[in-house]
Amino acid sequence: MAETAENGGVAEVIAFAKANHLANLIAIDNTASAHFIEKYTALVENGFDLVSSNKVANTVDFEFYTQLRKTLAENQKRYLYETNVGAGLPLIDTIRLLHLSGENITRIKGVFSGSLSYLFNAFSEENRPFSEVLLEAIDRGYTEPDPREDLSGNDVGRKLLILARELDLHNEFNDVQIENLIPEKLASGDVDNFINRLGELDTTFEKFKKEQDENHVLRYVGELYGDLTHEKGGKLEVKLVSVPKNSALGQVKGSDSIFEIYTESYGENPLVIQGAGAGAAVTARGVFGDILRLAERE
Amino acid sequence: MAETAENGGVAEVIAFAKANHLANLIAIDNTASAHFIEKYTALVENGFDLVSSNKVANTVDFEFYTQLRKTLAENQKRYLYETNVGAGLPLIDTIRLLHLSGENITRIKGVFSGSLSYLFNAFSEENRPFSEVLLEAIDRGYTEPDPREDLSGNDVGRKLLILARELDLHNEFNDVQIENLIPEKLASGDVDNFINRLGELDTTFEKFKKEQDENHVLRYVGELYGDLTHEKGGKLEVKLVSVPKNSALGQVKGSDSIFEIYTESYGENPLVIQGAGAGAAVTARGVFGDILRLAERE
């Protein structure tokens, strides 16, 4: 959608709502647009609650993030985005309520990406080259059209940042230390060229696999830890790790996501939420869940 | 609290709220009283939302259950009881939203009791008589004062009934098929007598343990299955089962609870919620979470 159309569209919708005295309005953003979020403020100021699966508003600069929340508070409106992390899994609301109710969250760790979950689960279990498993994931539509968007770790990094900000940490995307799985030589060029050269990844990943301790498997995880009671005390890391096969992270199957939430009063036993963390159907249901939450309030 | 005091108490509270024009009222019931729930209706009719960790209102006859919901709807009030099942785990709200958003839940299965989780986790792992592990659980305060309340399976049965009713099943407590772990000869008599005779349980449980397949462990589970789209189509079972050690249920540790929620669109991979599902601190935080939810609505 071109900017003028977007501008016109939102202004028209607001005008229509006003002219017809509509109440209990909800604006739903299921785009991935970095542009459309600029309309959020106008929508909130004109009586709309917000629901979005779009992660951009929560991962752009912290100034926008806090300004939007200020606008929401001033207008007594809500912004729900449960599907930003873990699709239909009840993750953000759980973390939000734990945090609001005064529970000290000390660590959040997990497999945040359905596509990378599938990739490393299959690669760890099966005796096949990395490129073959990756090609299969691409063919099944588990990855983004350009699989480098998954393999770069940026998507996992964005999800980690969203969780960190739920805990009132003042972090920016640049603070996330991301282990990019794409070697420099394959980072540029078009998708077809990248897919033709997938075989060049095999030696590296075979090495990672072989160098593990016995009964260990590879997992690409996001981890938030450090002093989470201080605005800038959190460490945000996205990385490939080797974990015991019989640990919770090691047990994850298929394209499931898993989130371990450690808190002061739960101690060493985390609260664990696990399940299908990606996919259109699951995300659509999650968006609908957010709408139901808002509707119940009226 | 005697009945007259309770009556007086609630009537006085309502009168005080009215006289002072108080708004946004929440009544919180953290008793285990089968009596106090009779005041719920009067509280709702006089402007109170309800929060309770008390399970009674959700497990007495279905007529009371539906009548209370009718009163709540008529008065536009809400009744939150997240801690009724799984203490601080985000279970009831998750199941409610899944169900409301049209997702077909096909099965719910899990270890619903922290005390029985501890008991069978330790008994399965360690080479000790059942009575010794049970005595330890009693000493650590994991069980009810009379541990037969846990071992009878009634508490797990009540939790299962609450989950079934969340899915609009019209079941009564009598519909729950419960495997009572107390032999007839120990069912009556006082607690001290029961505790002195714990050793009489050992032969039976040792037999259960020995008769399992290799790499299996014992778990006391609740399970809801059947045709959950029909009011009376659900099967509700509470029973001691033997499961593979490396399954999700077999992996549960300490006194953790685990809930597996199977749905039509998630298929064979359930949504799993796991963590400390019992204890005063966790429950208190869960009650506070419910209060925050209501407060956010205002």
The radius of gyration of chain A from alpha carbons, rounded to an integer in Å, stands at 20
End-to-end CA separation in angstroms for chain A: 32
Distance from CA of A30 to the nearest CA of B (A): 17
Q: Is B292 on the interface with A (CB under 8 A)?
A: yes
Q: CB neighbours (10 Å) of residue A176?
A: 24
CA distance linking residue A257 with residue A271, whole number of Å: 14
CA distance linking residue A165 with residue A231, whole number of Å: 9
Q: Which DSSP helix (H) or strand (E) runs through B52?
A: strand B48-52
pLDDT in tens, chain A (298 residues): 334 444 568 999 999 999 999 999 999 999 989 999 999 999 999 999 999 999 999 999 999 999 999 999 999 999 999 999 998 899 999 999 999 988 899 999 999 999 999 999 999 999 999 999 999 999 888 888 889 989 999 999 999 999 999 999 999 999 999 999 999 999 999 999 999 999 999 999 999 999 999 999 999 999 999 999 999 999 999 999 999 998 889 989 899 999 999 998 888 889 999 998 777 888 898 999 999 999 886 6
Helix (H, G, I), strand (E, B) or coil at A180: coil
Q: What is the mean pLDDT of residues B222-232?
A: 96
Query: B171-207, pLDDT tens digit by residue?
Result: 999 999 999 999 999 999 999 999 999 999 999 999 9
Task: Give the residue among A200, A199, A124, A115 at the shortest CA–CA distance from A152.
Answer: A115
> Under a CB-based contact definition with an 8 Å cutoff, are residues B10 and B28 in contact?
no
Q: Is B145 on the interface with A (CB under 8 A)?
A: no
Distance from CA of A105 to the nearest CA of B (A): 13
Question: A39, A109, A159, A207: which is the annotated catalytic residue?
Answer: A159
ipTM above 0.95, yes or no: no
Q: Which DSSP helix (H) or strand (E) runs through A241?
A: strand A234-244
Helix (H, G, I), strand (E, B) or coil at B244: strand
- For the annotated catalytic residues of B, the residue numbers are 159
Concatenated DSSP letters of A47-76? TEEEEES--HHHHS-HHHHHHHHHHHHHTT
Q: Give pLDDT, residue A160.
A: 98
CA distance linking residue A99 with residue A146, whole number of Å: 36
Q: What is the mean pLDDT of residues B123-145?
A: 91
CA distance linking residue A159 with residue A193, whole number of Å: 28
> Under a CB-based contact definition with an 8 Å cutoff, are residues B224 and B235 in contact?
yes
Residues paired with B267 in a beta bridge? none
Residues of chain A in contact with residue B217, where contact means CB-CB under 8 angstroms, are none
CA distance linking residue A143 with residue A116, whole number of Å: 8
Q: Which of B273, B275, B292 comes nearest A97 by C-beta?
A: B292
> Under a CB-based contact definition with an 8 Å cutoff, are residues B127 and B194 in contact?
no
Residues of chain A in contact with residue B103, where contact means CB-CB under 8 angstroms, are 285
| Range of lowest pLDDT (A119-123, B1-5, B11-15) | B1-5
Task: Give the residue among A15, A13, A14, A40 at the shortest CA–CA distance from A29.
Answer: A40
What number of helices (H) and strands (E) belong to chain B? Answer: 13, 9
High-pLDDT (> 90) share of chain B, %: 81
CA distance linking residue A9 with residue B221, whole number of Å: 54
What are φ and ψ of residue A32, in 5° steps?
-115, 25
> Under a CB-based contact definition with an 8 Å cutoff, are residues A266 and B276 in contact?
yes
Say yes or no to pLDDT of B6 above 90.
no
Q: pLDDT band at residue B142, thresholds of 50, 70 and 90? A: confident
Smallest CA–CA distance from A250 into chain B, residue: B246
Q: Which DSSP helix (H) or strand (E) runs through A240?
A: strand A234-244
Q: Give pLDDT, residue A8.
A: 61
Q: Is B245 on the interface with A (CB under 8 A)?
A: no
Q: Give pLDDT, residue A281.
A: 82
**Residue A159 annotated among the catalytic residues of the structure:** yes
CA distance linking residue A13 with residue B27, whole number of Å: 41
Domains of chain A, start order: 3-80 (no CATH), 92-277 (3.30.360.10)
Distant-in-sequence, close-in-space partners of A284: CB < 8 Å, separation ≥ 6 = none
Q: Is B285 on the interface with A (CB under 8 A)?
A: yes
Q: Is A270 on the interface with B (CB under 8 A)?
A: yes
Distance from CA of A230 to the nearest CA of B (A): 22
Task: Give the residue among B184, B178, B217 at the shortest CA–CA distance from B201.
Answer: B184
Q: Using alpha carbons, list the distances in angstroms from residue A283 to A52, A81, A116.
A: 10, 10, 17
Q: How many CB pairs under 8 A join A and B?
A: 96
Q: Give pLDDT, residue A282.
A: 84
